[in-house]
Chain A
């Protein structure tokens, strides 16, 4: 049952991650279709000038055990889980791949198409779907409630203005935006202390969130040299230098293991980026 759930989650996450990529994944975004307009990024892309970055977040060694979440206070939510009940989501590993890593170009991007379409964040069985979401600054984030009970969506950025909205029934949708880049914006529900999501806000559409199998792909990246940063809520950040060649696929892989648990995790503050490969860096401004 549990693995079934994870597979289902993974599918949702993958879809959401693809949707969140907006213009970056070549127009297959559901969110963009829902918005009823072609994404300008997709329309503007000249295939002879762009390439793709893809790769894996690999997890080696023992996988940390996730704690069970006590959802007994919300039977309606608890019923959505198998016999083992809901577990924490901070480290999700499947066949050596680490999910929920936010991967984005942190240096080298000059100019980017404006945000288009909407990213979506849902609340399903007292959890956020997806758990990690990437958006472009200025992009609409449509937040909905699939649970017929009270959630509040309390976003606490430091670079952006936050919000805290109640959704006491299923079917309510709130639309919010973050105006400037910020990795990451924590989102929580104060009614259900276990509910936690992270939104990565960047100035361009070149980002992705690793799926359940740990893979990611960022399409339509203009040829050039970039720094790619990978953020994870338990393991902090790593960077890799990548060179994108038009019409080709650049591969960047990030490696994780349990010993990285407890790394300082950048939140809110703008990162000071250094060049280097696959090192965890924890510096912040100020």
Chain B
């Protein structure tokens, strides 16, 4: 039946076997189209979905315990990404949206490998996990009205609506998910869940467009603390236009797409001198490079639910010193007792992959509050060709030079021979400090470009490999349970005079001269002719 419904093979088979096959099929008890699709959907599900969502659809597959948020439990039919009202079932198109696009910010990827037909079948099968589907009329999308348009005035009105709706209680004044209630948020399972960081819209699981954000506000995200604003709107607390303006404001809080990945941090020469700290206005004019981070999953204990998902890096040099500014969003300024409960819940919720959980005292408070930390690594010896040390803090053969910072001990330097082996370097040429404000760390680092006593020299014009690691203390990230990046490069640009400006100018002059010569010749020839 299945094959027949789909086409070629069935058609060939029917042609080959003629009337006999048709008779045989019609004699068999006919499966309904729904059962047929569900059976086909199960094949797709078992192959691609069951490892996380579990064979029985309860979101308890073998990989689930190391994930936060957990995979969807289909038996409850609680779908975050819908176009229907709070608590309502999703439409088939809603489920398709999540399968095709994935849920950014979670471990759910998009599935471009699945055909439209396979997704149709899969939707039928997913719905069969829950008795809620098939009861009552088919779910209908809400009426979302129409967007009155964006622009500066709309964004300003939206910013006011953000405060009227008290979004900052969870999402924070700057939208980085650092609101007063953020440390206590739980999903429907009682597991800790982050208030979305609205400044990194590309990790919003329902999409980053104005329309997406508007939809999420009116539908809420079922199974999470994010409520539907629809009764507030219908009560006149905000007008329908103001909800759209709020969506425009949210979309203005940061890039909507993940910044394009660039391999090389270009460190320009600061003609006016280096900024003295991470707060100076001069940084605003310096290009920022974004580096995505992922959990350390190579060595045990692994981290499948990393808290820090990316860093922004800027650099300047003045010919003798280099200054870097590293910024990343972290709603908690660890160690902070306000996040004790969060830390305890993370520890209890996650499979720590063999890591020792932080013990609790008799009052239920954690016996340790790890700091936030970031680490920059460079090859200890000048690199030859494209050879680079092992990206997880080097190894015995090729150690790495580390610039370390944590929120308790500040900035330091070390030599790394692998994740287990870090030796502090006493004579410490790196200085700096970090500040935390409204859910964002700003780390300022400074050092001489060339130091006699160590092997780390940032020669101008020679790309130096650089890689990062990060930890969020309140998410109980310590040791190997970190976020890591791969190797990139940092390049100190030589003084602007020699190559960058002069060469194009010379080229222009030469081209112009050559052109003049050609024109003159042509004119001469015409005159001669």
Q: Which residues does A use to contact B, with CB under 8 Å?
A: 73, 149-150, 152-156, 158, 161-169, 171-174, 190-193
Contacts and interface: CB of A to CB of B under 8 A. Distances in A.
B86 A193 contact: no
Interface stretch (B43-51, B223-231, B327-335): B223-231
Contact of B87 (A162, A171, A191): A162
B174 interface: no
B232 A191 contact: no
What does DSSP make chain B's interface, helix, strand, loop or mixed? loop
B367 interface: no
Contact of A167 (B78, B132, B231): B231
Contact of A164 (B86, B164, B165): B86
Contacts of B106: none
B166 A190 contact: no
Most chain A CB inside 10 Å of its own CB: which residue of B184, B227, B235: B227
Contacts of A152: 225, 227
Contacts of A165: 86, 220, 227-228, 230-231
A267 to B, nearest CB: 11
Contact of A171 (B78, B185, B226, B235): B235
B181 interface: yes
Nearest to A157: B87
B231 A173 contact: yes
A158 B58 CA distance: 13
Interface in B155-198: 164-166, 169-170, 180-181, 184-186, 188
Contacts of B169: 150, 191
Interface of B: 76, 78, 86-89, 132, 164-166, 169-170, 180-181, 184-186, 188, 220, 222, 224-232, 235, 237
B226 A164 contact: yes
Contacts of B237: 168-169, 172
20 contacts: A149-B166, A156-B188, A161-B87, A162-B222, A163-B87, A164-B87, A164-B226, A165-B220, A165-B228, A165-B230, A165-B231, A166-B229, A167-B231, A169-B237, A172-B232, A172-B235, A173-B231, A190-B184, A190-B225, A191-B169
A155 B227 CA distance: 11
A251 B228 CA distance: 44
A132 B441 CA distance: 44
8 smallest beta-carbon distances between A and B, as pairs: A190-B225, A150-B166, A152-B227, A166-B227, A163-B87, A193-B184, A172-B235, A161-B87
B232 A166 contact: yes
B165 A161 contact: no
B164 A168 contact: yes
Contact of A162 (B78, B180, B231): B78
Given A150-B169, A156-B188, A190-B185, A164 B76 contact: no
A165 B166 CA distance: 13
A166 B228 contact: yes
Contacts of A192: 181
A172 B231 CA distance: 7
A167 B232 CA distance: 6
Nearest to B78: A162
B86 A163 contact: yes
B424 to A, nearest CB: 41
Most chain A CB inside 10 Å of its own CB: which residue of B132, B185, B224, B228: B228
B220 A164 contact: yes
A74 to B, nearest CB: 9
Contact of B232 (A149, A158, A163, A169): A169
A154 B224 CA distance: 9
A191 B170 CA distance: 7
B222 A174 contact: no
B173 to A, nearest CB: 14
Given A150-B166, A168-B164, A172-B231, 12 more contacts: A152-B225, A152-B227, A153-B227, A161-B132, A162-B87, A164-B222, A164-B225, A165-B227, A165-B228, A169-B232, A190-B225, A191-B169
A155 B225 CA distance: 10
Contact of A166 (B89, B224, B231): B231
A211 to B, nearest CB: 30
A161 B256 CA distance: 33
Contacts of A158: 76
A265 to B, nearest CB: 14
A45 B170 CA distance: 50
A155 B228 CA distance: 12
A156 B86 CA distance: 12
Contacts of A155: 87
B521 to A, nearest CB: 77
Contacts of B231: 165-167, 172-174
Given A73-B180, A173-B231, A190-B185, A168 B165 contact: yes
